[in-house]
Structure 1
């Protein structure tokens, strides 16, 4: 059985603005095993990216990680100094951001940006670092890598910039790769190529991966487990196939129903989730999805549901799974 690589416990991150405290992440807990690929899905504003950046302590003011633990191989990253974190970031954990252009320095050549990561963490000389950088670019499908190293970011296409970001992220063979919307701005063909490259590198290097995306199809094809976030909380988690075939939370059900479908060659009308996400300046005391849920009960608006276990490796944060409520038969009150 694979060992636990990452364990996140009751993680809470807020942004302290002039209008008040925005509770972006409100108590997220999950584990990730060595070599496992886990998808994180949810609407914009659900807390996915903030949670991922909190894992590697990249939250900038006015944001602050309020409490919780992020254990990497048993060591809590949230109590590490900045010096210790710099030795971990890029080395043990790497991040691929959703906008490669903003993640790279536009006035520094690709080669220098790549070799800087390699020399800092691996202690190689200039020539050895350049040779490794060229090899990494070739590995992620970039032709004439020696020439690309001499170019600036603006001279590359969106797909090539994303490949450079992947090369940078895997340059030190991290144990955990966090990919935050890695294919958002790319066309479908390039998107498929990038995902294939990431899966290939993951299998070769035995990396675990957190894949943050809006695209449930990407999760279905590339992930083993899925975490569904909403309102800064985990609504449901479990094996991808089980969650997508038999969702236990109404929010997950709503996400799946809003996908385009074809039956017998006929396009079906999309069924959107009515309403708007909760205001995290003043989050509801009950279930954050209660105002949009078709199955809302009285208790949903008054009390936050716990995480109900469904078998050994699934859970959902929904009162519909409460056995006492099921026995009483008051699920439509």
Structure 2
């Protein structure tokens, strides 16, 4: 039986700004099993990155986790002290950020940065930590790692810096790797290499991966399950095949329509989703997608229950409620 590694339950995160309360994450629930790769998708402002930071205990002021629980390996981690978080973060749960240039120290050699992390979490002596850093760079496909550990971040290309970040995150052998848009700033060829690397490393180490992205094409390549977010909420969740071939929520359907299909050639017309995301300073009480939805009904002004379409495939939509005849949670 697969081990449940992480569960987020009814997670709510707000940022208290001068303009008011920005309700970035509003009742998000999902899980990640040991060794699986889960894609968390949605357009900018949907709450993906804030959810990822909440899972790492990294919500900065004026942000605050207002409600909900996060359990990791059966233990609640939502209210850990800073000291407890430091023990867990980087060690058992690691994160690869969107922009490696801001995550790496520009005036410190790559090897020293990696060795510092390895020494802190694994207790290795400096010489052994550098040797481990060299081995990790080799594992992520960086040539001449013995020379590269002595270089600075500016001497690496964007794709190489992202490989360094992945090597650093994996150097402590975490059980869960959270990758926040790890391929966004990279060209298509390098993006494919990084995705192949994540797949290969996951298979080799059995690390679970939460891949945060706005790109469903990326999800199709590497994920087994998908969580679709919009307006700070989970719209749909399910196995990749079901989400791609039998999407239930109009938002998921819209995302898929705006995705180029290689088999259709360049003549196919992409269909954008009209309108703009909701203002989370004053979010709608009902379905956040109502204003942009081609199927909107008057009842969408109230939030529908989460409906189970098939085992593990759930949707937050009145259309699904009607279709499934009230088979909701």
Q: What is the aligned length?
A: 326
Within 1, Cα distance between the matches of 2:78 and 2:110? 31
Aligned residue number for residue 61 of structure 1 = 61
Aligned residue number for residue 165 of structure 2 = 165
Aligned residue number for residue 39 of structure 2 = 39
Q: Please show how residues 7-18 of structure 1 align to structure 2 within 5 Å.
A: 7-18=7-18
Give the SS at the match of 1:322: helix
Aligned residue number for residue 290 of structure 2 = 290
Change (3 A) 1:205 1:261: closer
Aligned residue number for residue 177 of structure 2 = 177
Within 2, Cα distance between the matches of 1:306 and 1:139? 45
TM-score norm. by structure 1 comes to 0.95
Aligned residue number for residue 126 of structure 2 = 126
Change (3 A) 1:194 1:324: closer
TM-score norm. by structure 2 comes to 0.96
Post-superposition shift, 1:262?
Answer: 5.8
Matched, 1:226 2:226: yes
| Alignment deviations for residues 219-265 of structure 1 (CA, whole Å, 9 cap, x no partner) | 01100000000000000000001111111000000001111236664
Within 1, Cα distance between the matches of 2:262 and 2:136? 40
Change (3 A) 1:51 1:265: closer
Post-superposition shift, 1:151?
Answer: 1.1
Aligned residue number for residue 322 of structure 2 = 323
Post-superposition shift, 1:299?
Answer: 0.6
Within 1, Cα distance between the matches of 2:39 and 2:325? 30
Aligned residue number for residue 22 of structure 2 = 22
The answer to which of 231-240 and 138-147 deviates more is: 138-147
On the 8 A contact 1:261/1:267 being kept in 2, the answer is no
On the 8 A contact 1:25/1:51 being kept in 2, the answer is yes
Q: Provide structure 2 residue ranges, at least 5 long, that are not aligned to the other structure.
A: none
Post-superposition shift, 1:324?
Answer: 8.4
Matched, 1:305 2:296: no
Within 2, Cα distance between the matches of 1:213 and 1:193? 16
| Alignment deviations for residues 32-66 of structure 1 (CA, whole Å, 9 cap, x no partner) | 11101000110000000000000111011111111
Change (3 A) 1:148 1:174: same
Give the SS at the match of 2:78: helix
Within 1, Cα distance between the matches of 2:58 and 2:235? 24
Change (3 A) 1:324 1:270: closer
Change (3 A) 1:168 1:66: same
| Alignment deviations for residues 6-49 of structure 1 (CA, whole Å, 9 cap, x no partner) | 01100111110001000000010011111010001100000000
Post-superposition shift, 1:89?
Answer: 0.6
The answer to which of 204-213 and 228-237 deviates more is: 204-213
Matched, 1:50 2:50: yes
Within 1, Cα distance between the matches of 2:322 and 2:298? 16
On the 8 A contact 2:217/2:259 being kept in 1, the answer is no
Within 2, Cα distance between the matches of 1:19 and 1:129? 47
